[in-house]
Structure 1
Amino acid sequence: MPAIPESSNESAGGAAANDYDTFGEAYAAETENSLINAYYTRPAILDLAGDVAGRRILDAGCGAGPLFAALRDRGAIVTGFDSSTTMVELARRRLGPDAALHVADLADPLPFPDGAFDDVIVALVLHYLEDWTGPLAELRRVLRPGGRLIIAVNHPVIVKLLHPEADYFATVRWSEEYTFSGQQAVLTYWHRPLHAMTDAFTSAGFRTAVISEPPPAPGARDLFPDELGDRSAFLCFLFFVLEAV
């Protein structure tokens, strides 16, 4: 495994990290039916969201739109945004020209009015950011009082499993190299310990209602026997349901 790198915007090979405009199409193809995305993250988010019919939902970091599509199929009124133009273009191909899609960055003020949404879903986005203060404040602003923020992030134990030398209690930047549909990519994350996550949620005006470490979706073991073996669950992401107070 690569060592935890010094703070930089580039990998050792010079490729920009988290550059979804470059590898977004390959990423979307790779993750469309993958274990981690299609049979773990998306089913877990949908289970936590429950009955969404008629609810106004913001898909923050919508990527190519698979979660947006699933929520819309369940009767939700969905808006999505992503910082990658490539990903938004892929989402529009999937969802159609009338889908409410925007290019926007969670690190910046969001182009939505106060209290515009009943739920906000942020799946596999926050762990790319060092500072959660501004993003969480914006997500709280666009939620109505009592609305829900549903989050999936890297499980905080992962950095210690991959990099035993890392300080679990520090906010630590680390990178991994991946191959998506044959294309090389670098993803760079910010690890933070569990207590730092929950403290940030509380400071932003949220109450933690659920912390979940779900099993994969039914049928996953039949499709991915080599990856799952006889395990009933695995450590990968951590899921939260927060309530705006």
Structure 2
Amino acid sequence: MTAHYDAFAEAYAAENEASILNAYYERPAMLELAGDVAGRHILDAGCGAGPSSEALRARGAEMAGFDASAAMIELARRRLGPDADLRVAALGEPLPYGDGEFDDVVSSLVLHYLRDWGPPLAELRRVLKPGGRLLLSVNHPFAFHLSTGGGYFPIVEWPMEVELAGREAVLNTWHRPLYAMTEAFAAAGFRIVSIGEPPVSADIPEDLVRNELGGRRRFVSFIFFALEAAV
């Protein structure tokens, strides 16, 4: 998996920077979910090239981040500077951080790459302070059925063929129904604070709404969770 993403890190980062789903949907929604982060110590879990870390840092957060791809971390370091706390680490394995080190963890479109959510959620719970927040986005649980016609309830592999900045690639994701997500959160010691299905950002140009989204501002794509680490 790591070598797979290293191979198209530049293309992935370029697409993430400008695409409607990232620039005008997922990232603005995640920033709104985070709210006032001034002075908070936040871990960007699966930070990629660092756009979310950059945006949260600009709002006053003290950021750290990790990604399984060394190529992505190199891109993030170019963006955030040589002194940024960025590490190569894999979600699902022991993380190189202390217990209760962070006020918040943000994880944008990462968990759906993993079949088993137990170990990664347990590690994210470990590095959070009691009462800390895990803010995450994943593929919407109904998107698999809409896209493929596949069954809703089984947890199944979902390879997604995509074009990233003009380059074809396959993203190896897993479909997971909502009940399986919420059971995994509870088992890891999290309480659900909110579940979101937001519209695109109000800042999106009207011509993109009209020409690319067919006039829609809401659609099934990602789902957002705010979780609290149980005390």
User: For this structure pair, what is the TM-score category when the shorter chain's length is used for normalisation?
Assistant: over 0.9
Alignment match, 1:201: 185
1:178 paired residue number: 162
Name 2:27's counterpart in structure 1. Answer: 42
Give, in angstroms, the shift of residue 124 of structure 1. Answer: 0.4
Q: Is the 8 A contact 1:17 1:188 kept in 2?
A: no
Question: Residue 82 of structure 1: CA displacement?
Answer: 0.4
SS in 2 for 1:106: coil
Structure number with higher relative contact order (C-alpha < 8 Å, ≥ 6 residues apart): 1
Q: Give the Å deviation of 1:167.
A: 2.1
Supply the AA of the counterpart residue of 2:143: I
Structure 2 CA distance for partners of 1:32 and 1:167, relative to 1, 3 Å: same
Name the % identity. Answer: 60
Structure 1 residue 230 displacement after superposition: 2.0
Say whether 1:220 aligns with 2:204: yes
Alpha-carbon distance between aligned partners in 2 of 1:107 and 1:39, rounded to the nearest angstrom: 29
SS of 1:40's partner is helix
Please, which moves more after superposition, 202-211 or 181-190? 181-190
TM-score (norm 2): 0.96
CA offsets per residue over residues 145-197 of structure 1, 9 Å max, x none?
A: 00000010000001101111x22111110112112112221101111110110
Amino acid at match of 1:214: P
Q: Which residue of 2 is the match for residue 119 of structure 1?
A: 104
Once the two structures are TM-superposed, the CA of residue 18 in structure 1 deviates from its matched residue by 8.1
Distance 1:147 1:20, change over 3 A: same
Q: Could you tell me which residue of structure 1 aligns to residue 121 of structure 2?
A: 136
Where do 4+ consecutive residues of structure 1 move more than 2 Å? none
Distance in 2 of aligned mates of 1:151 and 1:29:
22
* 1:190 and 2:174 correspond: yes
Equivalenced residue count is 229
Per the TM alignment, residue 219 of structure 1 is displaced from its structure 2 partner at its CA by: 2.6
- In structure 2, stretches of 5+ residues that fail to align are none
CA contact (8 A) 1:117 1:142 kept: yes
Encode CA deviations 1:122-157: one digit per residue, 9 max, x unaligned: 110000000000000000000000000001000000
Aligned-pair RMSD on alpha carbons?
1.3
Distance in 2, matches of 1:142 and 1:188, equals 27
Q: Alignment partner of 1:102: what SS? A: strand
Quote the offset at 1:221 in angstroms: 4.5
